[in-house]
Amino acid sequence: MDKKITLLGNGSWSSALAKILTDNGHKVQWWMRSKEAIDAISLTAHNPHYLTSVKYDTTLLHLHHDICEAIEAGDLIIIGIPSAFVAEALTPCSLNVFQNKIVLSAIKGILPGKNVLLNEYLQEQFDVNIEHYGCISGPCHAEEVAAEKLSYLTFASADIEVAQMAADLFTNHYLQTVVSNDVYGVQYAAVLKNIYALGAGIAHGLDYGDNFLSVYITNCFSELQQFMDVISTQTRHHYNTSAYLGDLLVTCYSLHSRNRTFGNFIGRGYTANAARLELGMVAEGYVAARGIYEICEKIHYALPIAGSIYAILWQNKAAIEEFKKIEGLCS
């Protein structure tokens, strides 16, 4: 029996996921906060704010403004709401709203203030069993999905059959998929790569060149692996970090990367607030930098590169001075 699919969120990544699913002929219950966007898609078949070139088959879309109603209509719930807004968006819903449903995370962040991954939040607040949870990650920019350029995604779940089921829904001629049971590794790697990509943008804004950037990214990956080793002892989950190097690379190098773009503004002298206004979209790495710093404080572990990026963003430390420290860490 086909799964009834609900997609929550109206950003560029959610819009890309909606394109993939409808291109594959799947019907989608799509919730978005913006009534304006709902009206525009219904009328023109185009999202007025994100991936505006994409034309949707609206016969496959059922657009919702009520999030609880949208979740109720689906068997597979894909959450693409930015991590900073997930808890607020789900506030109107009952505690059993996800009962007998599979949840697939399409966010690449940790919930601010709570400093937990989405599966941890859903388990605590809505009693979602990790066996009914999966996540999506990988080197896959929404803009390239819109252009149908070949991309790859990893689908991870503690239940490999859940991961395979989700992957099968998305696989097509421009989207290849890999399945994994590394739920924590996929999510933490996605959080950290956004922080490091933001740092790559800062470096570019400070006029560092590609030679330094290649060494910087190599050291970021080493730091990421070391963090995974430490966290694995906390969660008792095995990690496979070598699978996530591609996501780190593309987010650090690509001009499509909003985290890199955000960091570039910082390196050029913008304040964090000014950079947020200039970008006009959510850069997950900005919030994640504080969350990861606080997690490290709690477990008494230091991430020197991520810590310097946190200091620039949240402690108003001079970017040039923090990157002099990072220079000394790189080898």
| C-beta atoms surrounding 228 within 10 Å | 21
| CB contact at 8 A, 285 and 194 | yes
Pull the structure tokens for residue 151. 């991309």
By CB atoms closer than 10 A (0-12, 13-18, 19+), residue 323 is buried
Catalytic residue numbers read: 193
For residue 110, the Cα-to-chain-centroid distance in whole angstroms is 9
Give the chain's end-to-end CA distance (angstroms, integer). Answer: 54
d(CA 253, CA 54): 25
| C-beta atoms surrounding 236 within 10 Å | 7
d(CA 290, CA 294): 6
Q: How many residues are present in the chain? A: 331
| CB contact at 8 A, 90 and 52 | no
Amino acid identity for residue 211 in this structure: N
Contacts for 277 with CB less than 8 Å, ≥ 6 apart: none
